[in-house]
Chains A and B, each alone.
Chain A
Amino acid sequence: AQSVTQLDSHVSVSEGTPVLLRCNYSSSYSPSLFWYVQHPNKGLQLLLKYTSAATLVKGINGFEAEFKKSETSFHLTKPSAHMSDAAEYFCVVSHLHTGFQKLVFGTGTRLLVSP
């Protein structure tokens, strides 16, 4: 079975400081991993995805994540937070061999950005 654990339910940063949102995964097979973001009253938007190519993945809005198999982690980072980054972030795993991209979501991390 696949699962993801998001270690922090809330993360608070100041504008201009680095962001780190932590995610650990569990998968019996080669996983595909994603980060989605949800702004209030908006749908889930894909930030970035890892699908067995480069382990350092760059996404939209300056976010990136590194797949570390030895640590079973896929942490999301950004060098400098912006006020508009305040949102809910979901780490998601999908089994590469599962048909039709059944996504397994983490519980989410709410990112708060203060001026």
Chain B
Amino acid sequence: EPEVTQTPSHQVTQMGQEVILRCVPISNHLYFYWYRQILGQKVEFLVSFYNNEISEKSEIFDDQFSVERPDGSNFTLKIRSTKLEDSAMYFCASSEGGDRGLNTEAFFGQGTRLTVV
């Protein structure tokens, strides 16, 4: 069964460093997402991406964050200068499309646990 894969599973980084989280969405999917879950809190929407551009982003997704689909298969989330409060589980997801991606299942990866020290 096709699945979304994320690497690495765990990442430890020093405060102020740049970090890139990588995701390989399901191959025929057109819509891509990042969500995060701070320990003990809700899973929160960060950004959605379609046709090589951001389609929607939350207030969390500030100038420190960026997303890219560099080679047609990977989908990356970059945090330019990490802060302690960026420590969280980051989930990548993708969906097939159809009616602008509405009502089609979002398939999630297993997550990358980012720890900023």
**Chain B contacts of A96 at CB under 8 A?**
102-103
Q: Which residue of A41, A100, A107 is within 8 Å of B110 (Cβ)?
A: A41
Tell me if A78 counts as interface (CB < 8 A to partner B): no
Are A105's CB and B43's CB within 8 A? yes
Nearest CB of chain B from residue A97's CB, rounded to whole Å: 8
Interface 1/0 per residue, B32-50 and A, CB below 8 Å: 0101000001111100101
Residues of B within 8 A of A36 (CB): 108
In the complex, the chain A residue whose C-beta lies closest to that of B45 is: A102
A residues near B45, Cβ cutoff 8 Å:
102-104
Q: How many B residues are at the interface, by size bracket?
A: 20 to 34
| Chain A: number of interface residues, binned into ranges | 20 to 34
B-facing residues in A87-115 (Cβ within 8 Å):
90, 94, 96, 98-108
Residues of A within 8 A of B107 (CB): 43, 46
Partner of A44 from the list B56, B91, B100, B102 (CB cut-off 8 Å) is B91
Q: A43-B108, A100-B56, A101-B104 are contacts. A107–B48 as well, Cβ < 8 Å?
A: no
Given A43-B109, A100-B31, A102-B48, A51 and B103 touching (CB < 8 A)?
yes
CB-defined contacts of A106 to chain B, threshold 8 Å: 42
CA A74 – CA B9 in complex, angstroms? 32
Asked whether B42 lies within 8 Å of A101 as measured between CB atoms, the reply is no
Among candidates B3, B103, B110, B111, residue contacting A101 with C-beta atoms closer than 8 Å = B103
Which residues of A approach B to under 8 Å, CB–CB? 32, 36, 41-46, 49, 51, 90, 94, 96, 98-108
